[in-house]
Amino acid sequence: MNDSRSVGPTDDGQQIIEIDSTDGLYENHASIIDGQVVPDAGYDPDADRPTPEPSPEQQMIAALTLEVAQLKAAKSSD
């Protein structure tokens, strides 16, 4: 990201800092302590990601697929 703002306080009370790496920067889950970005203790960004849920259509297709597979298995065992 190329930003033209200068390092230091802003008119709206924010503090612009300069960093070498964005590692450890998590929106609303990090603090600046002694000029260093420190992630919140215990915060796991991977656990914070929402998991996708199947749509009702996908659930119906999965149920039908399972039913067809069960019918085929029952038919082949005859």
Write down the domain spans for the chain: 8-76
**Tens digit of pLDDT for each residue in 44-60?**
777 777 788 999 999 99
State the pLDDT at residue 9.
85
Mean pLDDT of the chain: 82
**Cβ(32)–Cβ(14) under 8 Å?**
no
**Cβ(24)–Cβ(39) under 8 Å?**
yes
The partner residues of 37 in beta bridges, in order of sequence, read: 32
pTM of the full predicted structure? Answer: 0.37
CB-based contacts of 45: which residues, under 8 Å, 6+ apart?
26, 29
| CA proximity to 26, closest of 10, 13, 42 | 42
